[in-house]
């Protein structure tokens, strides 16, 4: 049962590799940006012909939230057209598509836990193009899982946790946003959920939310990172208005995970517990590098 992973060298792709190694799985084919260019339909056709995948995991995305405001067409090409290309190829070849989306499809202006059926109203280009990607998948394919996630981090690639650990060594004090609230997600947990869908060959297709349990702000997230890592870095709370960015972010994007727990049987850890796991994993990697 071959599984093609587009964007296989990114953060989530590396987490999938970690989990598959732990589970002893060897049928996942990880494609980097060149090997699995989701804008090249001829290449996609060749890959489907060669590997005859039963599942396709799309981790490829344009995720530079602020740059997307200036690179609208490139963001749309990758997040919408690329998703459509994979959906059409899956429909033609009888494969199941597992596609990763984002909490940024929501406006996030009301402190309400967001369910899959709630109206999506993106307030930045990144969120808009990711929503468009969801829509073209649903229009062209029946057998799909779209997993919206949020605040993704891990011991791999660039992310908020690794940035805080780096800056925490360099500075005595950091200003961090306190009025944007959401749920951090350990990408290894998300990878485990994806593999659970594949291993059980679930037929509960559709749109789902997946993030770690619990709610926090970026400020409290940073505080927890420094506390667990044993750093003495001081954290100063900043309001969004004090730290303007090119793209507007949702103020509240906490998602309801009831559907994925009911339909898929997802076991979702609490965000702080997973943060402990990640920081421990980073320490192990540091010791390996030092040796």
Active site residues: 126
Please tell me the distance from the alpha carbon of residue 212 to that of residue 120, in angstroms, as a whole number.
21
| Listed residue (148, 157, 99, 112) closest to 127, CA to CA | 148
Please tell me the distance from the alpha carbon of residue 70 to that of residue 72, in angstroms, as a whole number.
6
Please tell me the distance from the alpha carbon of residue 189 to that of residue 159, in angstroms, as a whole number.
15
Q: What angle do CA 208, 218, 10 make, to 5 degrees?
A: 55
Q: Please name the helix (run of DSSP H) or strand (run of DSSP E) that holds residue 159, with its range, or none.
A: none
Beta bridge partners of 99: 58, 146
Q: Specify whether the CB–CB gap between 146 and 101 falls below 8 A.
A: yes
Distances (CA, A) of 3 to 19, 51, 98, 146: 14, 8, 10, 16
DSSP secondary structure letters along 81-132: IHHHHHHHHHHHHTPEEEEEEEGGGS---S--PBPTTSPP--SSHHHHHHHH
Residue 98 phi, psi (nearest 5): -110, 115
């Amino acid at each position: 049962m071959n599984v093609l992973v587009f964007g296989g060298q990114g953060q989530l792709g590396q987490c999938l590799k970690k989990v598959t190694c732990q589970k002893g799985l060897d049928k996942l084919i990880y494609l980097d940006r060149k090997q699995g260019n989701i804008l090249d339909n001829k290449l996609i056709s060749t890959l489907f012909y060669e590997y005859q995948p039963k599942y396709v995991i799309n981790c490829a995305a344009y995720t530079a939230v602020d740059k997307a405001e200036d690179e609208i067409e490139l963001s749309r090409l990758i997040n919408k057209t690329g998703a459509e290309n994979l959906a059409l190829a899956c429909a033609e070849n009888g494969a199941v598509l597992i596609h990763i989306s984002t909490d940024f499809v929501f406006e996030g202006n009301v402190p309400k836990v967001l369910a899959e059926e709630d109206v999506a109203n993106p307030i930045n280009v990144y969120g808009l193009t990711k929503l468009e990607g969801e829509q073209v998948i649903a229009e062209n394919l029946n057998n799909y899982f779209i997993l919206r996630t949020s605040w993704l981090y891990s011991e791999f690639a660039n992310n908020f946790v690794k940035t805080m650990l780096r800056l925490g060594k360099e500075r005595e004090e950091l200003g961090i946003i306190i009025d944007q609230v959401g749920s951090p997600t350990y990408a290894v947990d998300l990878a485990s959920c994806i593999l659970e869908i594949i291993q059980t060959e679930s037929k509960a297709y559709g749109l789902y939310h997946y993030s770690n349990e619990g709610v926090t702000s970026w400020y409290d997230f940073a505080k927890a990172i420094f506390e667990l890592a044993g750093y003495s870095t001081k954290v100063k709370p900043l309001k969004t208005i004090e730290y303007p960015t090119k793209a507007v972010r949702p103020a509240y994007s906490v998602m309801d995970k009831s559907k994925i727990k009911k339909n898929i049987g997802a076991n979702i850890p609490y965000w702080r517990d997973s943060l402990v796991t990640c920081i421990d994993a980073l320490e192990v990697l540091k010791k390996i590098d030092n040796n």
